[in-house]
Chains A and B, each alone.
Chain A
């Protein structure tokens, strides 16, 4: 976690949009869209950890999947260093891109093929991208397994023989196998118990240093995101509402949603002074999001303008971007 701005931009997302069509009727006509990601912009600098947080349904996972090209984007562009616009890549170029961006998934149970041995799971990427040949593959797999804290003796076991934390380590080894520049971690530690979660977070931090990785860390747990990230973007209903470095975000949150979100987190200290902003109601449906500012239906400081005009996502302080009419 160094000063990454001088190292240059690795990834730049511009106006990325992803709508999922809802079809109905005999002819399966498109009747509406789920506006999962509705025009988001951010940059990721080389060597940093960029956190993407929000509650369920805010579009954080869709954003990750879309920039990985696991979903076809509806619009926008994603510039990745050395590859041009990721969203336009095809064929071999797309395949080569996958070597440089890898993903670690949330559920360590469903993201590993139950019929493959650990060795083959980790080696698949190495073989696909011709990164090693013959016995080198085995050496590489063994090396990776040691690095992520798995015993090399377990190379020929199946995923079901491992615990959740160990499986997540296999997922990490699989992502590292192709020497990626960027790793997208989608709720990588959410399914794990507290003590195991700490182990995996520490592992992610260690390998980041060792391999010079850049992370996009997607999670709903603000405390985890704060621990691991350098900069953080907060999403609400398909939009980024606030983005800045982690210290400004927690010491000086500007957007009313960020304030409420931070105050809602229980602090493991009974003497902690709780000044809580309780939000009313639930997150509205992304099929028909509220007009103007999407947060106005739950916002404690909303005025008339908020339901009519969408606030711009502007830089309100140095490197601190906020989308709110009432933040100066």
Chain B
């Protein structure tokens, strides 16, 4: 993937283990990916696959029972090695994050303006007045009507969509290089989601930042992502550009997932059934973690774990039997996606 370009953020063999009373939970188990300047990287997976923990590991926002290993480098700096003070200089300034639930992510006892100003004053050494003007400007940019009035309102006075806009305003107020968006539109209605996605795209064009879009919604991924990481049970199972992923998925999980979603654009007789449930992180199966639910599973899958291999240029897949998936695809191709 743009191998000549230098990545802005590089995650290598990242592991995040939680020590819990019940045992060791391997929430993220050796994932690697790059984020290039100005691109949108999508990270997709079902609940419990480790996609959010991955983001919190980068931002160093995890609790003390988390054990983070591997390397995370941002513009050549190794984030895990920075002091808490240095990290504070990066958080919100170079790498900003927006969360799923804007009601819980915003502080209910401060006005929206206060919360935007806080970051501006801390990172950009602006005076309170200047910061206030900037907050109004940011709110206007994210499409909040009457920003001079809204800036002094509390989060509960805003609607869900407005709160998410306010959070984006806060995240972008310091002009970050990377914006990590963790399910930013999941709690919103579709018409509001469309507004927010549109807004994020136009702000990306304006500021040229990179976006890491974490979501479970393959539709959102298709809409915004340039390249996609598919996660399952703490591992990357497929990693390629968006077009290849949707047109030529190679991992049985990706393929199954794409056929399991009801679609507006095509007529489906029935939905593909991925049997069973996501395995319990305390008791992952031996071998390939997807083997308990995979319809292409062979003996080998139950014994050893496949590596993430580059099967075609810039197309990484973690599976022993991609040719079985190809055969199945050819069979169902007649009806175009089942």
> Footprint of B on A, CB under 8 Å?
55-56, 163, 165-166, 193-199, 201-202, 205, 220-224, 226-228, 250, 260-272, 274, 276, 278-279, 281-283
Contacts and interface: CB of A to CB of B under 8 A. Distances in A.
Interface in B89-118: none
Nearest to B264: A223
A197 B260 contact: yes
B197 A202 contact: no
A270 B222 contact: yes
Contacts of B298: none
Contact of A195 (B145, B159, B243, B257): B257
A195 B257 CA distance: 6
Nearest to B159: A282
Contacts of B258: 268
Contact of A276 (B194, B242, B262, B272): B194
Contacts of B261: 194, 198, 223, 268
A227 B271 contact: yes
Interface residues of B, number: 47
B1 interface: no
Interface stretch (B166-174, B203-211, B213-221, B324-332): B213-221
B46 A193 contact: yes
B271 A202 contact: yes
A278 B194 CA distance: 7
B264 A226 contact: yes
Given A165-B277, A227-B268, A270-B242, A264 B193 contact: yes
A267 B198 contact: no
Contacts of B194: 263-264, 266, 276, 278-279
Given A261-B190, A265-B190, A279-B191, A195 B274 contact: yes
B264 A267 contact: yes
Interface in B141-167: 145, 159, 161-162
B222 A267 contact: yes
A222 B261 CA distance: 12
Given A266-B219, A268-B218, A278-B198, A196 B262 contact: no
A133 to B, nearest CB: 36
A278 B190 CA distance: 10
Nearest to A283: B189
Contacts of B218: 194, 268
Interface in B240-267: 242-243, 246-247, 256-258, 260-265
B263 A260 contact: no
Interface string B280-316: 0000000000000100000000000000000000000
Given A199-B274, A271-B246, 11 more contacts: A56-B189, A193-B46, A195-B260, A265-B190, A267-B219, A267-B222, A268-B219, A270-B222, A271-B243, A278-B194, A279-B194
Contacts of A279: 191, 194-195
Nearest to B278: A193
Contacts of B272: 198
Contacts of A221: 262
Nearest to A196: B277
A239 B293 CA distance: 43
Contacts of B192: 55, 282
Contact of B46 (A195, A261, A265, A272): A195
A3 B284 CA distance: 47
B270 A202 contact: yes
B223 interface: yes
